Amino acid sequence: MAVFNGTNLGVYIGGTIIAAAQDVSLSLSAEMIDITTKDSAAFRELLPGLRSGSMSCNGLIDFASANKDTIDLWSAYEGRSLLSLKFDDTGGGAEFTASGYITSLELSGGTEDTATFSATFELTGTISQA
């Protein structure tokens, strides 16, 4: 079994990891087309339709990082930039790449607590696995 530590996973923009991330995720889905007819014996029949995906991450705000930080995320959001994204583990395992846009960006901080961020990227076009 090739189980590995989730710390090795990261979301990258243009090959540079997003700084201070604590949690990352890749979500893939497929819409289903209903092809049920009166001949379906009262059971629903489906065909796969459009596929889509998203990547997300959250973590600590680090304005001084050399990696992609919340200022870079803001710039991409504000500029409606199409980003080259990668979901990868640093151990050389599965790598997923796609283009996407930031659809959600949140910065927050509580009293006597760390400042945090969360970002969601909706993927567009082909999602590849290497």
In the chain, what are the domains?
10-129 (2.40.30)
Q: Can you give the pLDDT of all 130 residues of the chain as single tens digits?
A: 567 778 889 999 999 999 999 999 999 999 999 999 999 999 999 999 999 999 999 999 998 888 999 999 999 999 999 999 999 987 667 899 999 999 999 999 999 999 999 999 999 999 999 8
Report the distance separating Cα 105 and Cα 128, nearest Å.
24
pLDDT at 52: 97
Beta-carbon contacts of 80 under 8 Å, excluding residues fewer than 6 positions away, are: 101
* Strand, helix or coil for residue 70: helix
The conformation of residue 8, written as its DSSP 8-state character, comes to G
Contact between 10 and 18 under an 8 Å Cβ cutoff? The reply is yes
pTM of the model: 0.89
Write down the pLDDT at residue 54: 98
pLDDT of residue 2: 67
CA distances to 11, 12, 97, 114, 127 from 21, rounded to whole Å, are: 8, 11, 18, 13, 22
